[in-house]
């Protein structure tokens, strides 16, 4: 289906004419120009779903709908519907060039007060998932950023939780800077140790060029005869690492370690910090630490748990909100645990071992106590933990990683750029007994976009390792992968041996034997100045008609309509280096209207 969007160009022209100059406009077809396009779902196809091509005719109200539910605000002639798992709705779209495109879905999901999640497939390949929060009328939500090829492409939604209505798909070129992958060169801690800076510089140098192989170890002791060799911590219980070596002849560069055994309620310890030191200093690898933070199941209990009641039969009633209030028993436990974990992490600092530190992971899932009471207390706890470990206990060897999601609500959970160095994503999307080797580029670029490209994005946990072909073809430049242990690595339904061999022996994948000497790796401090965000004259983080208007005003009277130094650099898009004038305004107008997809 074709739709003309002359109204967008006309609106732009009308505003700019008001300032005495007219930028030439071009009548264009959305499908042929790379501009914003709209595709109606009733004109698409379905397998097992429903298409309502005559509006709400034949629509039956769901028993769980509220009285306020009203689907009459659909556009076009109707909409489509997914219900059961595995049903699909799809649309054929056409784009003028290979590139990244941003998807927006107009939907109504009146059944689940939380959300429904559907699989997103592009040209037959899974690209991750899209979350559809509860609503009672058709409204828009982001579908992420996907790589499309020049010409015709198929966008498909496949029911996972189903029970969602779809009105239209909006398609637009993704912001140019999202694909540039230029993360900040600065760690969040201005007093980070040299070893942390060296590791971060190495990670940054690989980002977009290679993927680093990682593997999560099994919890517990890894030396069953420690009495005989008390200084050896990596010896036994190495099934995952031996499996990789046997199958590929290689070892992962990154070792994932869980501090699950470390809390003040239990006395059990498994030498996890010592393994991180040994992996880094003896085997010359990289360590990433997560913390399944066990707390008492209830006040006074010596039993521990990290799950909440809705997630597991073994659970805790520990309240994060109470823990953040002084004078509560939960707060006493919280601060004692932080002191204990600081002591364990200090062992690494004293051994000059930098680590990727990933606390409070998967918070938005709500199954752990630190995420069970919403975003605000979780962010407050994260920032408290950051302040305590960084400023109170002086741990300058930590590279802080936040495990994010791509839900419409995820931005509210983000602790802030000032306390985060990396973004992680825990990918578990193998289904129906089959591996999923997709690189889920939609998820990757949505996470990149979530920090405006400032933070590197890693696959901090996963089941199936994406194939090298998919990683490169989809341009999904994950920093590293790290399968969970046991069958998440070793079963064919998660990781086929052929793919494991392919990945580990690819030039694209960095393994343990390919790491440089990270103790002497050069530090890239980077510039503290902001990089140009071309087109963003008013420095509001986006490029739209207001930028073109500002440039026209500036060109007419720079004293009356000044632009900041950064804005002038951003606005110089035409014949860069010759200053900012009306030609730059014309280019920004074309970009805002979708006539061009990037600045040359």
Q: How far apart are CA 285 and CA 291, in angstroms?
A: 20
Residue 559 annotated in active site: no
Residue 461 annotated in active site: yes
User: Using one digit for the tens of pLDDT, what is the confidence trace for 310-359?
Assistant: 999 999 999 999 999 999 999 999 999 999 999 999 999 999 999 999 99
**Helices and strands of the chain, counted as H and E runs:** 15, 22
Is the model's pLDDT at 234 over the cut of 90? Answer: yes
Of the ranges 232-236, 288-292, 518-522, 594-598, which one carries the lowest mean pLDDT score?
594-598
User: Using one digit for the tens of pLDDT, what is the confidence trace for 350-394?
Assistant: 999 999 999 999 999 999 999 999 999 999 999 999 999 999 999
- 8 A C-beta contact, residue 510 and residue 213: yes
The H-assigned helical ranges of 474-581 are 487-490, 497-504, 545-556, 565-571
| CATH number of the structural domain spanning residue 406 | 3.20.20.80
pLDDT of residue 63: 76
Residue closest to 386 by CA, chosen among 323, 338, 441:
338
Residues 13 and 61 in one domain: no
pLDDT of residue 25: 29
- 8 A C-beta contact, residue 89 and residue 156: yes
- 8 A C-beta contact, residue 112 and residue 135: no
pLDDT of residue 541: 59
Mean pLDDT of 210-231: 95
Residues 138 and 91 in one domain: yes
What SS3 string covers 319-366?
CHHHHCCCCCHHHHHHHHHHHHHHHHHHHHHHCCCCEEEECCCCHHHC
Residues 477 and 501 in one domain: yes
The reply to whether 66 falls in a domain is yes
Residues 368 and 464 in one domain: yes
| CATH number of the structural domain spanning residue 74 | 2.60.120.260
In percent, how much of the chain has pLDDT > 90?
A: 76
Given 514, 549, 564, the domain boundary residue is 514
User: Using one digit for the tens of pLDDT, what is the confidence trace for 248-295?
Assistant: 999 999 999 999 999 999 999 999 999 999 999 999 999 999 999 999
CB atoms within 10 A of CB 463: 21
Looking only at the bridges linking them, the beta strands covering 139-148 and 115-122 are: unpaired
The reply to whether 22 falls in a domain is yes
- 8 A C-beta contact, residue 337 and residue 295: yes
The reply to whether 522 falls in a domain is no
Q: How far apart are CA 533 and CA 535, in angstroms?
A: 6
Active-site option among 158, 362, 401, 587: 362
In percent, how much of the chain has pLDDT > 70?
A: 92
Return the residue matching tokens 């199958």: 247
Residues in the chain: 600
- 8 A C-beta contact, residue 477 and residue 440: no
The reply to whether 137 falls in a domain is yes
Active-site option among 102, 330, 461, 569: 461
Residues 233 and 372 in one domain: yes
User: Using one digit for the tens of pLDDT, what is the confidence trace for 106-165?
Assistant: 999 999 988 999 999 999 988 989 999 999 999 999 999 999 999 999 999 999 988 999
> 1 falls in which pLDDT band (50, 70, 90)?
very low
Q: How many separate domains does the chain show?
A: 3
- Cβ contacts of residue 68 below 8 Å, gap of 6+? 136
Provide the residue range defining the domain that includes 47.
36-174
- Write down the pTM of the prediction: 0.81
Is the model's pLDDT at 14 over the cut of 70? Answer: no
Is the model's pLDDT at 569 over the cut of 90? Answer: no
The reply to whether 523 falls in a domain is no
Residues 547 and 404 in one domain: no
Half-sphere exposure for 268 (CA within 13 Å, toward CB) = 11
User: Using one digit for the tens of pLDDT, what is the confidence trace for 39-72?
Assistant: 999 999 999 999 999 999 989 888 778 889 999 9
The reply to whether 396 falls in a domain is yes
Beta bridge partners of 164: 82
Q: How far apart are CA 222 and CA 273, in angstroms?
A: 12
CB atoms within 10 A of CB 517: 8
């Amino acid at each position: 289906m074709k739709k003309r969007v002359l109204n967008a160009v006309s609106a732009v022209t009308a505003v700019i004419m008001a300032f005495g100059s007219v930028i030439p406009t071009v009548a264009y077809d959305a499908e042929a120009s790379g501009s914003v396009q709209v595709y109606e779902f009733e004109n698409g196809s379905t397998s097992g779903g429903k298409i309502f091509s005559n509006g709400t005719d034949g629509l039956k109200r769901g028993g769980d709908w509220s009285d306020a539910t009203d689907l009459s605000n659909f556009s076009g002639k109707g909409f489509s519907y997914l219900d059961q798992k595995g049903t699909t709705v799809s649309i054929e779209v056409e784009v003028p060039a290979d590139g990244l495109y941003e998807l927006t879905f107009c939907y109504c999901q009146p059944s689940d007060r939380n959300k429904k999640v559907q699989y997103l497939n592009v040209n037959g390949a899974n690209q991750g998932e899209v979350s559809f929060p509860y609503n009672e009328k058709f409204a828009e939500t982001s579908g992420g950023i996907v790589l499309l090829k020049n010409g015709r492409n198929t966008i498909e939604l496949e029911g996972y939780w189903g029970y969602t209505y779809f009105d239209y798909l909006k398609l637009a070129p993704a912001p140019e800077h999202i694909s540039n992958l230029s993360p900040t060169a600065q760690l969040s801690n201005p007093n980070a140790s040299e070893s942390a800076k060296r590791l971060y510089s190495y990670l940054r140098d690989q980002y977009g060029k290679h993927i680093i192989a990682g593997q999560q170890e099994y919890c517990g002791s890894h030396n069953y005869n420690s009495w005989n060799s008390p200084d050896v911590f990596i010896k036994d219980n190495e099934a995952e690492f031996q499996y990789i070596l046997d199958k590929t002849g290689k070892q992962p560069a990154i070792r994932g370690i869980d501090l699950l055994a470390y809390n003040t309620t239990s006395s059990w310890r498994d030498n996890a910090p010592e393994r991180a030191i040994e992996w880094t200093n003896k085997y010359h690898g990289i360590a990433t630490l997560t913390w399944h933070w066990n707390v008492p199941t209830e006040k006074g209990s010596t039993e521990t748990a990290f799950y909440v009641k809705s997630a597991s039969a073994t659970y805790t009633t520990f309240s994060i909100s109470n823990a953040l209030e002084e004078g509560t028993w939960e707060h006493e436990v919280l601060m004692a645990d932080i002191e204990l974990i600081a002591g364990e992490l200090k062992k690494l600092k004293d051994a000059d071992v930098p680590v990727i530190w990933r606390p409070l992971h998967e918070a938005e899932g709500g199954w752990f106590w630190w995420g069970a009471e919403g975003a605000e207390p979780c962010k407050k706890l994260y920032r408290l933990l950051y302040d305590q470990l960084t400023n109170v206990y002086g741990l300058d060897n930590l590279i802080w990683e936040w495990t994010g999601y791509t839900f419409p609500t995820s931005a509210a959970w983000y602790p802030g750029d000032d306390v985060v160095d990396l973004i992680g994503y825990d990918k578990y999307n193998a289904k129906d007994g089959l591996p999923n080797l997709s690189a889920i580029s939609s998820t990757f670029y949505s996470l990149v976009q979530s920090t405006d490209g400032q933070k590197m994005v890693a696959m901090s946990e996963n089941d199936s390792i994406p194939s090298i072909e998919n990683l490169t073809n989809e341009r999904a430049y994950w920093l590293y992968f790290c399968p969970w242990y046991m069958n998440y690595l070793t079963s064919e339904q998660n990781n086929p041996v052929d793919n494991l061999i392919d990945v580990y022996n690819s030039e694209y994948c960095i393994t343990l034997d390919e790491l440089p000497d990270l103790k002497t790796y050069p530090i890239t401090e980077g510039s503290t100045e902001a990089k140009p965000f071309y087109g963003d004259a008013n420095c509001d983080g986006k490029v739209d008609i207001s930028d073109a208007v500002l440039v026209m005003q500036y060109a007419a009277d720079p004293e009356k309509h000044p632009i900041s130094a950064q804005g002038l650099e951003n606005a110089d898009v035409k014949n860069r280096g010759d200053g900012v004038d009306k030609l730059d305004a014309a280019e920004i107008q074309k970009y805002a209207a979708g006539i061009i997809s990037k600045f040359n």
